[in-house]
Amino acid sequence: MGLFSDKPFTLDRIVRLLITLGVAYGLFLLVRAVQDVLIPFAIAALLAYLVHPLVNILQHKARIKNRLAAIIGSLVLITTALVLFSMTMVPVFIKEIRHVGQLVTKMANDAKLKDKVEKYLPEDISVYVTDLAQREEVQAFFNTEKFGELVINTLRTVLPGVWGLFSGAMDVVIGIVGLFIILLYLIFILLDYDTIMEGWKDLLHPSYREMTIEVVQDFASAMRGYFRAQALIAGICGVLFAVGFELISLPMGIVIGLGIGVLNMVPYLQTLGLIPCAFFALVHSLETGRSFWVMMLLVLLVFGLVQIIQDGFLVPKIMGDVTGLNPAVMLLSLSIWGKLLGMLGLIIALPMTFLVSSYYHRFLLYLGKQHRQALSGEGGT
């Protein structure tokens, strides 16, 4: 099996193992040192994995024989869809954000609203909420007049690692160059995608080839079956949350709903969305005089209905018999890889965890096979 050997642990083998571990640790330090350079490539590789099926559809079913033309066509279709989505949703986002900004400013300066906050919430939480509303950075975020400034503020606040790619003395220039580099990586990877997926096998040592190929095949199957299925479920749930929150008039309902859909990439992580929902339910109740608890009940009703649809219909129909990682393991992997490699770790966390899981299952299968052979050998003697 190549990676597993029945040879005894001699001094020579232990030394080789220690050298291997040292090399692995050195590679880890190297990756961490150059992670800022690797992030654009990792983003492009992930995008290539997601875009590749569309390229194949255009090339084979739409009969666009030229590979580059199929790639450009795919990117144009995706860009067009994003532009249409932005033209539809961005004005709604801006309107809701400005509206919430007015309420936050009012909350910070209106004594009556502060009294209502204290009425609805425990003392410690109400003090925290009112202090949060009075902070300059919070009011500046919600009161931003231009969408571009809003995006910049969001990246700086929520994703400092991503913002670090496009910030500096020449923000606009660096941002354009960074996106251009990602685009170049994406095109080059897609051009030779099939060759890359097959060619790496020839680089393996024969003693490791069979086992490594089996592990990668398991990994690819798990990623295709689970990752893409979960992405589809998360997208549908995000739309359902957005519609539900709009129906109950929750401020920022569309934004929060789509954000919760993204969180749903890790199953059940969407429950974290209850925190901003509670805050905006409070904002809504302060503005309209509607009971905070009635609003929270409606929020919980939306969560409950979407969860029922997800578990009762979407997961059985879309996920089928595909088995994925335990949600706790997925969340732990995001935490560990994010801690080790920052933003790069968050990008590669789930693929690397699937790869480790595939290797571990192959290892268990090999141990079971060895155990059965040993038992059959003993039975024969």
Is the pLDDT at 59 greater than 80, yes or no? yes
- Inter-residue contact 104 to 139 (CB < 8 Å): yes
Q: pLDDT tens across 279-312, in order?
A: 888 878 877 777 888 889 999 999 999 989 988 8
Is the pLDDT at 249 greater than 70, yes or no? yes
Q: Which residue has the tokens 């640790």?
A: 25
Instruction: Give the amino acid at 243.
Output: V
Q: Which residues contact 189 (CB under 8 A, 6 or more apart)?
A: 44, 45, 48, 196
Mean pLDDT of 324-331: 67
pLDDT computed for residue 276 by the predictor: 85
203 CB-contact burial (10 Å; exposed 0-12 / middle 13-18 / buried 19+): exposed
Distance CA 286, CA 330 (A): 38
pLDDT computed for residue 267 by the predictor: 67
- Inter-residue contact 229 to 319 (CB < 8 Å): yes
326 CB-contact burial (10 Å; exposed 0-12 / middle 13-18 / buried 19+): exposed
**Res. 72 pLDDT band, cuts 50 70 90:** very high
Distance CA 276, CA 209 (A): 49
Query: CA nearest 112: which of 280, 296, 293, 287?
Result: 287
pLDDT computed for residue 7 by the predictor: 56
Is the pLDDT at 246 greater than 70, yes or no? yes
Q: In whole numbers, what is the pLDDT of the chain averaged over residues?
A: 75
Percent of residues, the chain, with pLDDT higher than 70: 66
pLDDT computed for residue 337 by the predictor: 78
pLDDT computed for residue 169 by the predictor: 41
The better pLDDT of the pair 229, 163 is held by 229
pTM, two decimals, is 0.61
Instruction: State the CB neighbour count (10 A cutoff) for residue 199.
Output: 10
Query: CA nearest 161: which of 345, 33, 352?
Result: 345
Instruction: State the CB neighbour count (10 A cutoff) for residue 276.
Output: 15
Distance CA 257, CA 238 (A): 5
Instruction: State the CB neighbour count (10 A cutoff) for residue 36.
Output: 13
Task: For the chain, count helices (H), then strands (E).
Answer: 16, 0
Q: pLDDT tens across 127-162, in order?
A: 666 666 666 666 666 655 554 555 555 555 544 444
Percent of residues, the chain, with pLDDT higher than 90: 10
Cα 170 off chain centre by: 28
Mean pLDDT of 309-329: 71
Complete DSSP assignment for 229-284: HHHHHHHHHHHHHHHHHHHTT-TTHHHHHHHHHHHTTSTTGGGGGHHHHHHHHHHH
The better pLDDT of the pair 55, 364 is held by 55
**Res. 253 pLDDT band, cuts 50 70 90:** confident
Query: CA nearest 343: which of 194, 160, 173?
Result: 160
Complete DSSP assignment for 91-119: HHHHHHHHHHHHHHHHHHH-HHHHHHHHH
Is the pLDDT at 241 greater than 70, yes or no? yes
Query: CA nearest 48: which of 181, 232, 184, 190?
Result: 190
Q: How far apart are the first and last CA of the chain?
A: 25
- Paired tokens of 100: 């919430």
pLDDT computed for residue 281 by the predictor: 86
The segment with the largest mean pLDDT, out of 64-68, 240-244, 250-254, 279-283, is 240-244
The segment with the largest mean pLDDT, out of 107-116, 259-268, 313-322, is 259-268
Local structure of residue 223 (DSSP, 8 states):
I
The better pLDDT of the pair 229, 309 is held by 309
Which run of H or E residues covers position 222? helix 206-222
pLDDT computed for residue 110 by the predictor: 66
pLDDT computed for residue 1 by the predictor: 46
Long-range contacts of 182-186 (CB under 8 A, 24+ apart): 182/40, 182/43, 182/44, 182/47, 183/44, 185/40, 185/41, 185/43, 185/44, 185/45, 186/44, 186/47, 186/48, 186/51, 186/75
Q: Which residue has the tokens 């798990």?
A: 222
